[in-house]
Amino acid sequence: MSARSVGLPSRVPAPGLPERVTIWEVGARDGLQNESGVVDVGVKLEFLDRLADAGLGVLEATSFVHPKWVPQLADAEQLLAGLRRRDGVSYPVLVPNERGLDRALAAGVEHIAIFGSATETFAKRNLNRTLDEQFAMFEPVAGRARAEGLDVRGYVSMCFGDPWEGSVDPAQVVSVGKRLLDLGCSQLSLGDTIGVATPGQVEVLLAGFTEAGVDLGRIAVHFHDTYGQALSNTLASLRCGVSTVDSSAGGLGGCPYAESATGNLATEDLVWMLDGLGVQHGVDLAALAATSAWMAGQLGRPSPSRVVRALTG
């Protein structure tokens, strides 16, 4: 008798969790925008195709940030033109401003995401704007997008810590989040951009949104694994009632503003936990891990996802 491959965890549900989680896959955008090299558009298209084959229903595809800032995604139009769209799969794109919205509309996009900072300092560093100027920029983007029938997601960066300001007041995050919802965002994604959060912080912030009257069904969480905390924070979020989780296939991604920031929560590590907990998600783990292993080969470095390495190493 030889050791058999361990491909799936035992399924033992735990109380207090959502029945189903929506995985918002950000690998093609948040992942690849932080790679030092530029990936060929054909590889990106195959990546998105394989992610859809693996059962992911939301694939954040690219970004219309100016190519000067994110040359890795300068092929956004070409990518969207080549995309083999599937029924039931959504392909949101990041849009920073009206020029980006014009490009997204011209490319036939149906779902956009705008991204704001929770802190003044990061707004200044990332967008060269004050928070008020940030919202003045968002207002026509969200307004026109809604008028065109597009769905709009709002990202909030640096929700749990900021490399310049240090700790971030949850009340400040709730205030920024509410302003994004007031602009017409259907959903907020709360980002731990530098990966410093721990579960108590997560619970306090989510309680702050609940107290402010925001249904946690409209909240997604977006953790980076810089300090190895992403999955624990996700577990804490699920127990609070969150049911949308951002992650990136193979743990691709990072944050160029914090040099040590490693990738996003790996989708495979999340899927392993959800499979064990009996929470539905629709993803075929083996197909996903094979896709991430293939992508790691394209990038010429091993996947940071522990599940990918264990299943495909």
Q: Specify the stretch interacting with its own copies by CB under 8 A; choose among 48-56, 72-80, 81-89, 264-272.
A: 264-272
135 counts as binding its own copies under rule CB under 8 A: no
222 with 253: CB under 8 angstroms?
no
Cβ neighbours around 87 below 10 Å, total: 4
185 classed as catalytic: no
Binder among 3, 147, 213, 301 for its own copies (CB under 8 A): 3
Q: Specify the stretch interacting with its own copies by CB under 8 A; choose among 1-9, 30-38, 74-82, 89-97.
A: 1-9
Binder among 262, 267, 291, 292 for its own copies (CB under 8 A): 262
301 counts as binding its own copies under rule CB under 8 A: no
Q: Are strands 62-63 and 93-94 parallel, antiparallel or unpaired?
A: parallel
Per-residue b or e along 38-64, where b marks 16 or more CB atoms closer than 10 Å to that residue's CB? ebebeebbbbbbbbbebbbbbbbbbbb
Binder among 92, 96, 100, 161 for its own copies (CB under 8 A): 161
Q: Specify the stretch interacting with its own copies by CB under 8 A; choose among 66-74, 129-137, 263-271, 293-301.
A: 263-271
147 counts as binding its own copies under rule CB under 8 A: no
CB closer to its own copies, 30 vs 268: 268
18 with 241: CB under 8 angstroms?
yes
Nearest CA among 136, 133, 103 for reference residue 120: 133
Of 12-41, binders to its own copies (CB under 8 A) are 12-14
243 with 234: CB under 8 angstroms?
no
CA angle 82, 292, 260 (to 5 degrees): 105
CB closer to its own copies, 58 vs 196: 196
Binder among 199, 241, 282, 302 for its own copies (CB under 8 A): 199
240 counts as binding its own copies under rule CB under 8 A: no
The whole-angstrom separation of Cα 216 and Cα 269 is 23
CB closer to its own copies, 69 vs 85: 69
125 with 160: CB under 8 angstroms?
no
Binder among 78, 90, 97, 198 for its own copies (CB under 8 A): 198
Q: How far is CA 188 from CA 4, 57, 116, 179, in A?
A: 42, 18, 10, 11
Q: Token match 């794109």: residue?
A: 93
Footprint of its own copies on this chain (CB under 8 A)?
1-4, 6, 9-10, 12-14, 121, 160-161, 163-164, 166-168, 194-201, 203-204, 225-229, 231-232, 234-236, 257-258, 260-262, 266, 268-269, 272-273, 275-278, 305-307, 309-311, 313
Query: Which residues participate in catalysis according to the annotation?
Result: 255
